Amino acid sequence: MSIHWKGVMPAVTTKFTDDDQLDLVNFEVNIKAQMDAGVTGIILGGTLGEASTLTDDEKSILVRKTVELVNGKLPVIMNVAEQTTVKAIEAARRAKEDGASGLMMLPPMRYKADDRETVTYFKKVANSTTLPIMIYNNPVDYGIEVTIDMFEELIECENIQAVKESTRDLSNISRMKSRFGDRIKIFGGVDTLALEGLQMGADGWVAGLVCAFPEETVAIYKLQKVGRIEEAILIYRWFLPILELDITAKLVQNIKLAEVATGIGTENVREPRLPLIGEERKRILNIISEGLKHRPTLPDYKNL
């Protein structure tokens, strides 16, 4: 399946049972909620997906299950976050074998590669596969920035087609559009800057709180795209305190609590993560509860 790099693509959470196995029942509930809301792709195995805790076999199960659930209606994109080039190439091969439509790729993990090493890493993986690739550019959390000049080299690979832009510098969107036009599709990757990024010309939104609030997230995107900015802003302003749950170290626990509150997920995380307790838990639940009390009535965004 080819990928139309636009719209809202959730970086979905991985669901676990009480005894720490994959919970495919609740995973299916969430994927169906995303599809019903109108997302344009499903991204597996990112930070929110607790990828660093998953085995290779579990990743394959998730890809295959998602491919089954979407039934050709949406692309399934697997994240690649590996320490070595060889392992990244193997992960890309396995994702394609399991039926993934594309990849999202982080720079090398743990080792802080320089620009030449990072470009070489991405290009070797890209040249090893026919799957289209989104580069995940998040120097704040992962320590390596993929610069505009680096993208100049990376676009030699035709299957490097998009970027999840998480530098927190909105002007990067304009810089990339000025340099590359539509050659690289740009997705905002920070929930609290999403609408601003779309206004600056981003093509889509790789979202986190969409895991709990899929309809509100897609509504913001669609309203903005058809020029109904004031309506989009009103929903976004309501959403912002909840979106801020995505920009902390415990974003996984936070968002899973939100999924429980909206009835499309569970709280279970995989150690070393632990469920929130005490005052921290109370504070997060209060933010979610306040949001739900004032949850907006959405316009008929699906027909825009």
Q: Which residues of 114-141 are buried (b: 16+ CB within 10 A; e: fewer)?
A: eeeebbebbbebbeebebbbbbbbbeee
Under 8 Å between Cβ of 115 and 154: no
Give me the half-sphere count of Cα atoms (radius 13 Å) on the Cβ side of residue 273: 24
CATH 3.20.20.70: does it fit domain 7-303? yes
Residue with tokens 């302003």: 237
Q: How confident is the model at residue 110 (pLDDT cuts 50, 70, 90)?
A: confident
Distance of CA 295 to CAs 4, 28, 245, 259, 277, Å? 30, 24, 17, 15, 25
Q: How confident is the model at residue 1 (pLDDT cuts 50, 70, 90)?
A: low
Helices 85-98 and 56-70, packing angle to 10 deg: 30
Per-residue pLDDT tens over the stretch 186-232:
999 999 999 999 999 999 999 999 999 999 999 999 999 999 999 99
Under 8 Å between Cβ of 45 and 73: no
The 3-class SS string of 75-113 reads CEEEEECCCCHHHHHHHHHHHHHHCCCEEEECCCCCCCC
What torsion do the CA atoms of 189, 191, 195, 196 make, to the nearest 10 degrees? Answer: -70
Under 8 Å between Cβ of 22 and 62: yes
Q: Which two tokens stand for residue 266?
A: 């569970």
CA distance 88 to 80: 6
Which residue stretches of 139-250 are H helix? Answer: 139-142, 148-154, 171-180, 194-199, 214-225, 229-243
Q: How confident is the model at residue 2 (pLDDT cuts 50, 70, 90)?
A: confident
Question: Rg of the chain's alpha carbons, rounded to an integer?
Answer: 18
Per-residue pLDDT tens over the stretch 7-61:
999 999 999 999 999 999 999 999 999 999 999 999 999 999 999 999 999 999 9
Amino acid at 209: L
Under 8 Å between Cβ of 293 and 261: no
Q: For the chain, which residues make up each domain, given as ranges? A: 7-303
Pairing of strands 160-165, 185-188: parallel
Per-residue pLDDT tens over the stretch 233-261:
999 999 999 999 999 999 999 999 999 99
Question: Which of 78, 56, 66 lies closest to 24, judged by CA?
Answer: 66
Torsions phi, psi for 188 (to 5 deg): -65, 135
Q: How many CB atoms lie within 10 A of CB 228?
A: 15
Paired with 205 in beta bridges are 8, 188
pLDDT at position 109:
92
